[in-house]
Structure 1
Amino acid sequence: MLTVFSLLTALVFPLIHAGRPWRIAYWITPYDISRGIYPNIRSPLIMDPVAISTYLTGSTLFLYIALLPDLGNLRDRTTGWQNAMYTVLSLGWRGNPRQWKMQTVGGILLSALMLPIFVSVHSIVSWDFAIAPAVEGWHSTIFAPYFVIGAVHSGVSAVVTMMALMRWLWKWDDFIRPEHFDALARLLIVVATGWLAFTFLELIFAVYGQDAPELALREMQMFQWPWNLLFIIFLLTGYFIPVPMWLFKRVRTNIALMFWTSILVNVGMWLERFLIIVPGLARRTPFVYTWEAYRPSAVEWTIFIWSFCWVTFLMLLFSRFFPLVPLFEQKESQVFTEDVTIGRAKVPAIVREAD
C-alpha cells in the first residue's frame, strides 16, 4: 500500500518539474509521424514513466489480489453504494477451494515478478544520471546496484515507521508485535551494511579513475562547507547511528527506538540523493561570481511537504474503505495457531495438516 501511493505521488513530480505539463504528451507520443518526429526513447521522460507505471501496475495487482477475500466479506456486510462498490471489486469472490487456490498462486507469482521489476525500476532511475555524462559524479557504473540497495534500505525503514505509527494510532498491539520489529531490524543491519559498502565503492571508483573534475567534486562533497556537514550527517543518520543500536535486541524490540532510528535512516537517504544531485550541478567554473550553493525556495519546500501530506492522505482514505491488515490472514492464524515445543520453550505457531 505504501509503495502504491508513493509511486502515484512520484508520477506527479515529472509533471510538476516539466514546467508545461501538456507538452509531455508531445514528447512521449509520435504526434507528427508525417514529418518523422518521434519521441526520444533515451530520454528520462520516456524511461521513468514506463518504469514507474510498470512497477505501479504490479504493486496494485499484488495489493488487489491480497484484498479479494476481504472485499468479498465487506460485500456481504454492507448495503447501498458501498455494497455496489464492493460487489464490483470482489469479482464474484465466494471463497470456494478453486478461488482460494488461484488467489494463493496469483499472490506467489506476483511476488516473484515484483522482485525483477523492483530491481529494473531503480536501475532505470539510476540511468537517468548515467546518461548525463557532462555532470560530474553522475556517470557511475555503480549507480544501478547502489540505487537498488538504497531503495531497500529506505523502503524497509519507511515500513518500520508506518508499522510503529499504526500500532500507536489504532492500538494494534496484537497484530504488530515487537518480534516483527526485531526481524525487520535484523534485515536492515544486513541491507545497511551492503549499502555502506556501495557508498564506499562509489568514492573508490572516483579516486581510482583519477578524473580531475570527479576528484574535485568528491573533495567538495567531503571537505568544503556546507557539503561536508551534510556528508557527515548523511553517514551518521544512514548507518553509524542506527545500525550499532540495532545490534542490541533491547533496541530492536523497543518500538519507540525503532521508530526514531527508522526516521534517521530516511533522513540520511534523502541527504544521499541531495548530495548526488546538487553538488554535481554546482560545478565550479572559472567565473568566481557564479559560485553559489543551492538553496531551496519556498515553493520547493511546499512541494516537498505536500508529497508527505498527499501520501498520508491517500493512506488514511484507503483505510476508510479497505482493511490495512488482511482479515482472512488473521482469522486463518487464529484457527491454525497452536503451542509447539521448541527445546524447553513453548511458542505459538501455525500448524497445518497435509490435505
Structure 2
Amino acid sequence: MKPEIKPANPNFSSGPCSKRPGYQLEALDLQTLGRSHRSSVGKQALKRACEETARLLGLPEGYRVGVVPGSDTGAMEMAMWSLLGPRPVDVFAWESFGKGWLTDIVKQLQLDSVNAYEAEYGRLPDFSQANQAHDVVFTWNGTTSGVKVDQADWIDDDRAGLTLCDATSSVFAMEMPWEKLDVITFSWQKVLGGEGGHGMLILSPRAVERLENYTPSWPMPKVFRMTKGGKLIEGIFRGETINTPSMLCVADYLDALGWIDGMGGVHKAIEKSRNNLAVLEAFVADRPWIDFLAQQPEIRSNTSVCFTLDLAPEQIKQMGKLLEQEAVAYDIGSYRDAPAGLRIWCGSTVEASDLEALLPWLDWAYAEVASL
C-alpha cells in the first residue's frame, strides 16, 4: 500500500543540502546587502564568519580561518597549488573527489614524487602506508561513497610533512582531530545547508610556516595567492577576502552558525547526525534488498549515507523518479561516478521524523519497481 504520511521536508540531497529546520529568508541579517564587502559592516560580517567558525569548532590556538572563492574545490586547489612541491606527496583516494585531487596533483601540478594509495567505493585505503616525512592529501568523508575516516592515529604528532584534508561533508558533523590536520577545507552548502560558491580554508601554524618559506615554481593565479613579500596575507583570515563574496550568502552562513550555537554547539550537531544514521541503520538491518555501500559500521558516514540495492541500475533510477513524483524525496540518486544506488543525506539539518516518514516510501517504491 502507498504510505499516507510524507516527510515535512523531502530535501535529502547531498549538496546543496537541506536548510536548517525553521529556516526563513526573512530571519537573515540583511544589513550588508548593497554594501561593499570592504565597508566596515561588510568586513565585520566576514570577520565574524571566520571567528565564529573557529570558536564553534574549537580550533587550536594559532589556527587561521579564511573565506575563499570556489567552494570546497577552490579551497583545496588553493591549498594544493600553494603548499605542495617541496616534499613527496602521499595521496589517499577512495571516491571521486579524492581521486580528483590525485589527478590534479599528478596531471596538473605534475609533481615528480607522488604515491597513490587507492581503494574501491565502500572501502578505505591502508593509511599505515603514510610516510610522516611526506605531505599527505586525503578526504575525511567521502561524500560520494558514504565512507569516512574513523581515526587519525596513523598521523604522527611530530610529523615532518603537512596533512591536507578535504573535510567538506564532515566539519560540523564529525569529531575532527584538529592537531593532526594542517589544512582543512569545507564549504557552506554541505553540513550547514548554506549556499554554494564559497569555501572555508583552515590553516595550522605549520601550514603558515610552509607558505612563508616556500615559493612554488609555477605561476600562481591571483585567487590562490596567500602571501606577499614572503609573509602571509593575514587579512584573508580576518575577513578581507581575495575577491568579492556574496554578502547574502555570508548572512546565510552566519544564520547557520547561530543555529549551531543555539542548539548547544557542534557536539549536539554531531549527536543529531549520528542519531539520524541510526534511523537508517535500523531500516537496513530489517530488509534484505538494501545494504550500505560501506560494509564496516565504524567507517560508515553519518552525513552522506550511500546504499546498494538488489535492483538493476535502471530500476534504481525509476525508484528515484517515483519518490520525486510523490514529493517525498528529492535528489537521492547515487553520484554519477559511484556504483548505482541511493544516497540520503542525514546531517543535522535533517530531522529524524522526516527520515522515519521517508522509510515506508522506500519500501513502497522498491516494491513498485521490483514487480515490473
Same fold (TM over 0.5): no
Larger RCO: 1 or 2 (CA < 8 Å, sep 6+):
2
TM-score scaled to structure 2, two decimals?
A: 0.23
- The structure where strand makes up a greater share of residues is 2
- The structure where helix makes up a greater share of residues is 1
TM-score scaled to structure 1, two decimals?
A: 0.24
